[in-house]
A and B are shown apart, each in its own frame.
Chain A
Amino acid sequence: MADKTFVAAEIAEPERRKVFRKIFRQLGAATVITMFGKAVLDSRPARAASVLRPPGALPEPEFNAACIRCGLCVEACPYDILHLASWSDPAPTGTPYFVGRRDPCRMCPDIPCARACPTGALSPLLTDIKKADMGVAVLVGHETCLNYKGLTCSICVRVCPIIGEAISLKSIKNERGVLQIPTVDSSKCTGCGTCEKHCVLSEAAIRVLPRELGLGVEGAQSVGRW
């Protein structure tokens, strides 16, 4: 009985139902559009990459616009080091990156990854892999690095594919005596990640970071200008 009156009420007020329906629909559309928009604006490319890009990658904002997430670079890499970022990864969805500690770039002389890229997101102008700029190595563990403790580990120096140029041992003197310190020449280091991969510590004392993160960017912070 109650049901019947309810149905009757509904039929009696088709206008109201229509209005409600319209409101719900518009609300739904607005929600979807807002979520989508927010997701996109949130994933707006940072000024600097937070991950290591394949060799020849354009600066991060341009790379993010140019790369169409096709994965041709990923498949071209004979060492299978590249991955397309999924949602949970720190890079925009679908863009290629690698993790040096897991699997460093072997610096193939013919740069197959960049050759495979159809869009120029990996620049075709890069012909000498030694000029690649995937990132830069930084010795961050001044307390944990074995060479800083006075031992002669130097593994990171010995594994570097451009040994002697990108990283070399420089002696410094302190109260413990003469230390042989792995020292990176940031203008030569390509950021391939080999040193980080092979650091003997359980967490590497030498890290390969995107250049802006590893070296900082010159210029004053706004706070400094007050």
Chain B
Amino acid sequence: MRRLQAVLYRNRWLFSRRIVQLLIIAAFAVELAAGGYFAQGNLSSSVWFGIGLTDPYIWLQSLFAGAPLGKAALIGVVIVAVFYLLLGGRIYCSWVCPINLVTDLSYWLRQKLNIKSNYTLSKNLRVAILVLSLLLSLLSGTLAWETINPITLFQRELMWGSVAGATVLASIFLFDIFVTRRGWCSHICPVGAFYSELGRVGRLRVKATQAGACHGCAECIKVCPEPHVLAPVVSKKATYVTHGDCTRCGACLDQCSTGALAMNLSFKKTSAFKGIPVVSSD
């Protein structure tokens, strides 16, 4: 019993995330007894209990492709954008995106199999792809990234059992295992890049609880999908993870054995606009 509790505790963020992710998939996929689904549509645009939500990045592509703006979609875009803007954009990646299940599995296998190969890709690659996708939308008059976006592909095709969807997922899976650590999500996916930019000022942040609790073991950095965001905190140059790349996955909190880290929602106007605060040395 104790053991179980300990396991649960050490994976509290991981398990919460999995539950949320699976619930979201189920909301779209599991038919209700009364007919219909909890959520209609897919992650491009969906309707939850009568409220429409639309992905701002996909909407932006549509805008670049030259579309008139739909009223319903516009409201949905604002709701979603404000949510991620306030909390932190890449919450989408850790808590909503179904591809995260695949890439996390890849990462886990990579650890288990002790695969070291790591083809370095620039973090700017995904930003380049983001810009490119908007540019191509403009040039071609179609939603460029949506021709291959594995997120909506997953929902459209895999749920309905298609081979095309499975192929794409399999290639991402293998790429992340054998080629680059956290290859897809941290280097290629423009959706993640978009949400990272959107969530620069997000207020749900990882915080160093009190000076002194952190031993500087850097275990959190090892498990973080975006290790660079934690560096300032571990090296005690900052109390908050302020980088937009942080996915709020909580892996660092699960990993930290001293309770030096916490996830914090603070709307106090402390740091984000004044640069990184420095922990006073006592």
Contacts and interface: CB of A to CB of B under 8 A. Distances in A.
A153 interface: no
A84 to B, nearest CB: 5
A138 interface: no
B44 interface: yes
A68 interface: yes
Interface residues of A, number: 37
A93 B70 contact: no
Given A43-B142, A64-B141, A65-B62, A119 B67 contact: yes
Contact of B164 (A33, A62, A86): A86
B72 A118 contact: yes
Interface string B183-210: 0000000000000000000000000000
A87 B152 contact: no
B271 interface: no
A72 B132 contact: no
A70 B42 contact: yes
Contacts of A54: none
A94 interface: yes
B210 to A, nearest CB: 43
A92 B61 CA distance: 15
A39 to B, nearest CB: 6
A40 B152 contact: no
Contact of A86 (B68, B70, B148, B156): B156
B91 interface: no
A121 B70 contact: yes
Given A25-B121, A36-B148, 19 more contacts: A29-B125, A33-B132, A40-B139, A41-B136, A43-B140, A43-B142, A44-B142, A64-B142, A65-B143, A68-B54, A68-B146, A71-B44, A75-B36, A117-B70, A118-B52, A118-B73, A119-B62, A120-B70, A120-B71
Q: Name the 4 nearest CB pairs between A and B, nearest first.
A: A119-B70, A70-B45, A65-B65, A66-B67
Interface of B: 36-37, 40-42, 44-47, 52, 54-55, 58-59, 62, 65-73, 76, 121, 125, 129, 132, 136, 139-144, 146-148, 152-153, 156-157, 162, 164-165
21 contacts: A25-B121, A29-B125, A40-B140, A44-B142, A45-B141, A68-B54, A68-B55, A68-B62, A68-B73, A69-B152, A69-B156, A70-B45, A72-B41, A76-B40, A86-B157, A94-B152, A116-B40, A117-B70, A119-B45, A119-B62, A119-B72
